[in-house]
Structures are given as structure tokens and as C-alpha cells.
């Protein structure tokens, strides 16, 4: 088991939270304030990114990253990867898709539920501590990288695949964010996002099935 250096974790938190904040702002500003930001020009995007970067690089408690880390811990490598992919998409003026891929979101949701139940002693599988096991971690990291590469190559859940590759690379090379594999692929914010995406996907499926049902023909009285 090898853990990342604390100074490296601090810099990771600043950069990762900066990516998360910038990607969120560039995604929601045109939606929440369409009259003020009908369409973000590249100059405006650059100003938003630069402002977020400067704020995150402020020393100590003056940095929002300090307080975000206290409340939410470190962003997972997967959330950081998603933020990087989203930021690149916003820069290229790709359409905003707020929901995660349904299959990937369901897997993250189930994994999060299992981890939380295990943490409360309901399952007692010691899942989190197994994230430090070097043998299991190496095997799972290779499997995750292979799945991510396949997803990107076949253009199925390409954003998820690219984000997963980013998280595996950060973990394999730098052991970020904490040296535990679970922290590299899941965090509370990402789990909430995945859970919300599962609910949205379920509502869409229900609405589609309801619309496909044959409507009863009203009786006509003569």
C-alpha cells in the first residue's frame, strides 16, 4: 500500500475542485441566466476559468478548495475526469448533457449503496479497506482501464470512458486522491449525480412506456 504525499493531495484538491467548479459554471450559466449569458463566447469562458483558477490557488483557508475539501473530502479521479471532459465539451460548444450514462450511473449508484451499507456494518465486507489491497487494486485498475478504452473506442459512453481512464491514470501513477481505489472512482457528489441520473432515466423509461400504451376508446352513445 502506497499513499500520495500530502502536498500532492493539496495541489490535487485545488486543481480538481477548480475543474469541477469551472465545468459546472460553464454548463449552468446559460441555463440559469439565459438573458445575461445567452451564449458564452470563448473570451467569457476563458475569464470564468481564469477566475476560478485564481480563487482555488489562494493560500490556505482563503481558497474555496480548502472548505470544499473539508465538507466533501477530495473529488474522486472519476469526477475530476468528468469535469475535464465537460470543460473540453463546453469550450468546443458541445451540447450540455446533465445526466450520466444510465448503465454507468446505475453501476456507480449500486457501488455507492454497497459501500455505505458496508461502512454502517450492514454488509460487513470491508469493501473500503480492500481498496488498499495492492493485488486486487492492480487487477481492478487494469479491468477498469480496459473497459474505459473499449467504451471510448466504440463510442459508447465515450465521456464516461474518458473520465474513467483519467481516474485510473491518476490513481495508478500518482495514487490520487487518497491511495484507495474506491476514492478514485467514487465520492459523495459523484454518487448523488449518478443517483439523480438513474431517477431521470427511470422517469423517461416510464414516460415512454406510458405513451406507448394503447389508449382506451371512449364508448359512443347514439
pLDDT band, residue 176 (cuts 50/70/90): very high
pLDDT band, residue 98 (cuts 50/70/90): confident
Averaged pLDDT of the chain: 88
Task: Compute the half-sphere exposure of residue 117: CA atoms within 13 Å on the CB side of its CA.
Answer: 9
Which of 125 and 84 is assigned the larger pLDDT? 84
Among 63-67, 128-132, 181-185, which is the least confidently predicted range? 128-132
Query: Given this model, what pLDDT does residue 35 score?
Result: 63
Report pLDDT digits (tens) over 113-125: 999 898 888 888 8
Per-residue three-class SS string for 156-212: CCHHHHHHHHHHHHHHHHHCCCCCCHHHHHCCHHHHHHHHHHHHHHHHHHHHHHHHH
Report pLDDT digits (tens) over 59-82: 999 999 999 999 999 999 999 999
Amino acid at each position: 500500500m502506497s499513499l500520495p504525499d500530502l502536498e500532492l493531495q493539496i495541489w490535487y484538491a485545488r486543481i480538481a475542485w477548480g475543474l469541477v467548479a469551472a465545468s459546472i459554471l460553464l454548463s449552468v450559466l446559460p441555463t440559469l441566466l439565459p438573458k445575461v449569458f445567452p451564449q458564452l463566447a470563448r473570451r467569457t469562458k476563458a475569464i470564468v476559468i481564469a477566475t476560478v483558477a485564481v480563487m482555488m490557488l489562494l493560500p490556505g483557508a482563503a481558497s474555496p478548495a480548502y472548505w470544499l475539501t473539508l465538507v466533501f473530502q477530495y473529488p474522486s479521479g472519476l469526477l475530476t475526469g468528468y469535469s475535464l471532459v465537460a470543460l473540453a465539451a463546453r469550450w468546443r460548444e458541445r451540447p450540455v448533457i446533465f445526466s450520466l450514462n444510465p448503465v454507468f450511473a446505475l453501476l456507480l449508484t449500486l457501488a455507492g449503496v454497497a459501500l455505505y451499507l458496508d461502512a454502517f456494518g450492514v454488509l460487513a465486507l470491508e469493501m473500503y479497506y480492500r481498496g488498499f489491497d495492492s493485488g486486487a487494486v492492480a487487477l481492478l485498475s487494469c479491468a477498469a482501464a480496459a473497459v474505459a478504452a473499449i467504451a471510448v473506442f466504440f463510442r459508447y459512453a465515450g465521456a464516461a470512458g474518458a473520465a474513467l481512464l483519467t481516474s485510473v491514470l491518476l490513481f495508478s501513477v500518482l495514487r490520487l486522491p487518497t491511495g484507495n481505489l474506491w476514492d478514485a472512482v467514487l465520492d459523495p457528489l459523484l454518487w448523488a449525480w449518478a443517483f439523480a441520473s438513474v431517477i431521470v432515466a427511470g422517469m423517461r423509461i416510464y414516460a415512454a412506456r406510458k405513451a406507448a400504451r394503447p389508449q382506451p376508446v371512449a364508448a359512443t352513445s347514439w
